[in-house]
Structure 1
Amino acid sequence: MTYCVGMMLDRGLVLMSDTRTNSGVDNISTFRKMFHWQVPGERMIALMTAGNLATTQAVVSQLEERTKAPDERGNTLLQAPTMFQVATEIGQLLRATIEQPQSANGARGEGRFSASLIVAGQIAGMEPRLFMIYPEGNFIEASWDTPFFQIGETKYGRPIILRAYDRDMSFEDAVKLLMVSFDSTLKANLSVGLPLDLLVIGRDEFAPTHQHRIQQDDAYFNAISSSWGDALKNTFHSLPDYSFYVD
């Protein structure tokens, strides 16, 4: 399992993903799930993956190959004229990868080889955009009514984002919010784990504003985790007491 979040702000986009993959409790590995491509001054595109590792690695590898050898249709990440077309192309590639025969007897990959993606980025002259792509290849786009997407193990980290998100918050506050969301997920689910990858994409910058890998010994993340736990306990104890007796 995994956990990835993409968030829209007035200032741009903030993305965070974990790196844990597992096939049972005795086979746990670390693999990067966040990738990005850029054309300085023209576009910045990022991708996060969740699901079957072979499927997501195949999709990313094919995207990498297309950026190195653009085809005659000009439909690569670095040439598509809009982010909508970027999302369309990646969705079609994901669906085709899942539908490829996965064994000698021709069994197809639906279900077991499923995956989902978050695509984020901006092309010069247009707004930053954020999409969530389903295994079937179709996708939805974030809006100010739905300003963030999650894939993977989403339920534990969702409540804090819903309560604290504000579209005009600073990048620093957005990172802090995502760290709390990830800390809650790490505490509740062993299939999500450190290191975490962080990427901030500022509006009209077309390059990473900030990127960072959060390791086990990251002082700031550990301070957030400890402080959030203490704050929850203090808030709990400050709530009105329940009584078995009614006046």
Structure 2
Amino acid sequence: MTYCVGMMLDRGLVLMSDTRTNSGVDNISTFRKMVHWEIPGERIISVMTAGNLATTQAVISQLEERTKAPSERHNSLLEAPTMFKVASIVGNLLQDIIEERATDNGQKAAAGTFSASMIVAGQIKGMEPRLFLIYPEGNFIEASFDTPFFQIGETKYGRPILIRGYDRDMSFESAVKLMTVSFDSTLKANLSVGLPLDLLVIERDNFTPRHERRIDASDPYFQSVSTSWSEALRNALDGLPDYRMG
């Protein structure tokens, strides 16, 4: 399982993903689920992935190859004129790979076996930062300040925290803190989501990462937030009116 979040702010975009791909009693695997490409001063584009690992690896590998050797038939993310076109490229490639793998395995009716979804985020010079959620069918929706964040993977445990804490004019630091709490709650509720976490902050009109970091289990900030959040919840619960049984 996976948990990834992409969030829009007035200041730009904040992205966070876990890295766990398998969780068993004696077999825990990790794999990077966030990648980004940039042309300093011109564009920055990031993709986060959830779903069948072979599918997502194939999509990212092909996107990488296209950045190295673009052609008229296969567009490169680094040459797309808009972020909408970037989302279209990723969506079409995802759909093609899912259908190809399902057909190759004689499981056309069970294409869900190879299903995956993605979050695409970034900015091209002269345009607004944009955030998209790509579905397995290749279609997508765009975030707005009515729907300011997207989640993929194991979304239910961390979503209520994001809904309650989000503010479009919050600082990057506050957004990272909010996401950290969301991930901490998800990690505690579902062992299939796991550390380390990857963090990427994209500041508006700054076409290189504003901040990039890998957060592992020994990270002092993550440990502090996790402990403080647990204590704050217990204190808040103790402060609520007691239930009276007649």
Determine if the TM-score, normalized by the shorter chain, exceeds 0.5. yes
C-alpha displacement at 1:22, in angstroms? 1.3
DSSP-derived class of the 1:207 partner = coil
Q: Helix, strand or coil for the counterpart of 2:232? A: helix
Quote the residue 2:184 is aligned against: 183
Are residue 205 (structure 1) and residue 206 (structure 2) matched?
yes
Equivalent AA in structure 1 for residue 137 of structure 2: E
Cα deviation digits, residues 156-200 of structure 1 (max 9, x gap) = 000111001000000000000000000000000000000000000
Tell me the distance in 2 between the aligned counterparts of 1:91 and 1:105: 21
Which string of whole-angstrom CA distances, capped at 9 and with x for unpartnered residues, describes residues 59-103 of structure 1?
000000000001135721000100000000100000000001457
Alpha carbons 1:74, 1:80 under 8 Å: kept: no
What is the aligned residue count? 245
Closer, same or farther in 2 for the Cα pair 1:234/1:123, shift >3 Å? Answer: same
For residues 5-35 of structure 1, the C-alpha deviation after alignment (integer angstroms, 9 at most, x for no partner) is 0000000000000000116554320100000
**Aligned twin of 1:38:** 38
Q: CA deviation at 1:107?
A: 2.6
CA RMSD of aligned residues (A): 1.4
| Other-structure match for 1:9 | 9
Alignment partners' CA distance in 2, 1:42 and 1:73: 23
User: Structure 2: how far apart are the matches of 1:44 and 1:50?
Assistant: 21
The code of the aligned residue for 1:235 comes to: A
Q: Distance in 2 between matches of 1:74 and 1:48?
A: 21
- More divergent stretch after superposition (203-212 vs 18-27): 18-27
Q: How does 1:1-247 map to 2 (within 5 A)?
A: 1-22=1-22, 24-72=24-72, 75-102=75-102, 106-108=106-108, 110-245=111-246
Gaps of at least 5 residues in structure 2 are none
Q: Which moved more, 1:17-26 or 1:48-57?
A: 17-26
Question: What letter corresponds to residue 161 of structure 1 in structure 2?
Answer: L
Percent of counterpart pairs with the same letter? 74
Cα deviation digits, residues 87-142 of structure 1 (max 9, x gap): 00100000000001457653336111100000000000000000000000000000
Task: Give the whole-Å Cα distance in 2 for the aligned partners of 1:105 and 1:34.
Answer: 27
**TM-score normalised according to structure 1 size:** 0.96
SS in 1 for 2:112: coil
**Counterpart of 1:149 in 2: which secondary structure?**
strand
Distance 2:34 2:50 in 1: 10
Unaligned runs of at least 5 residues, structure 1 = none
CA contact (8 A) 2:23 2:191 kept: no
Partners of 2:105 and 2:149 in 1: CA distance: 40
In structure 2, relative to structure 1, the CA distance for the partners of 1:243 and 1:34 (3 Å cut) is: same
Paired letter, 2:212: Q
CA contact (8 A) 1:11 1:203 kept: yes
